[in-house]
């Protein structure tokens, strides 16, 4: 059954069978899209794959329902949901991997080509896509040149790689409260610098929501 963005919102806000049918359809769509999106990191024949996909699908549905009112219709609804699913999946994979990776390796970040394969977004213009990439590049440059080595290392480990605060503090030989302060100062630097270039926090967050 084909649904427009409005159809999805209506069905998921509804009650009873209408809502359950939409949730079931969404479940199928998420599961169908993940193998391709995650093929650079994990293949369907991997013993961990089935459990990962099911966990990610359930979490994606819960998060989608919680964020329904934030969907602005700038992309197809299923593309928006798929993006949420990919981010959750990559976060789970990073959490499983961080034990094997040093903070110095994490600080290097991801290869520009090492990105999740996403469903085509018919609602996003080429200009908007280019703008988002430019904003991401600016953010990376600010982190490289404006943050101290410790700030960059901590921020990459916690915010990008999903490493628990306690583990980052242990590896950096510091206390949790000191790490909180380090992260707070790093985020404040990023915020101030980006605002000087005309970017609001909401615009920055929007890159990760659509």
3-state SS, 9-70, equals HHHHHCCCHHHHHHHHHHHHHHHHHHHHHCCCCCCCCCCCHHHHHHHHHHHHHHHHHHCHHH
Residues 83 and 129 in one domain: no
Instruction: Record the tokens describing residue 189, joined without a space.
Output: 């630097």
Is residue 119 assigned to a domain?
A: no
Q: On the CB side of 75, how many CA atoms lie within 13 Å of its CA? A: 23
CATH of the domain at 36: 1.10.1740.10
Give the pTM. 0.54
Residue 191 has a pLDDT of 81
Residue 121 has a pLDDT of 46
Spans of the chain below 50 pLDDT:
109-115, 119-130, 205, 207-210
Residues 95 and 185 in one domain: no
Is residue 168 assigned to a domain?
A: yes
Residue 203 has a pLDDT of 55
What is the rounded CA–CA span in Å between residue 78 and residue 123?
A: 11
Question: Which CA distances in Å does 96 have to 27, 38, 155?
Answer: 24, 15, 18
């Amino acid at each position: 059954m084909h649904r427009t963005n409005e159809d999805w919102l209506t069905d998921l806000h509804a009650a009873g069978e209408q809502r359950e049918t939409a949730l079931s359809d969404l479940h199928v769509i998420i599961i169908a899209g993940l193998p391709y999106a995650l093929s650079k990191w994990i293949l369907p024949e991997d013993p961990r794959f089935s459990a990962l996909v099911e966990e990610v699908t359930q979490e994606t549905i819960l998060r989608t329902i919680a964020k329904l009112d934030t969907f602005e219709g700038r992309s197809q609804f299923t593309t928006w949901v798929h993006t949420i699913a990919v981010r959750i999946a990559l976060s789970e994979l990073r959490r499983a991997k961080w034990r094997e990776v040093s903070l110095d390796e994490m600080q290097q970040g991801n290869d520009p080509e090492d990105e999740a394969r996403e469903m085509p977004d018919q609602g996003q213009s080429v200009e908007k896509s280019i703008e988002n990439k430019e904003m991401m590049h600016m953010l990376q440059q600010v982190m490289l040149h404006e943050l101290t080595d410790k700030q960059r290392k901590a921020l990459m480990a916690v915010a990008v790689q999903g490493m628990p605060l306690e583990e980052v503090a242990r590896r950096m030989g510091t206390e949790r409260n000191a790490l909180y302060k380090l992260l707070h100062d790093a985020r404040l630097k990023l915020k101030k610098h980006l605002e000087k270039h005309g970017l609001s926090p909401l615009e920055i967050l929007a890159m990760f929501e659509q």
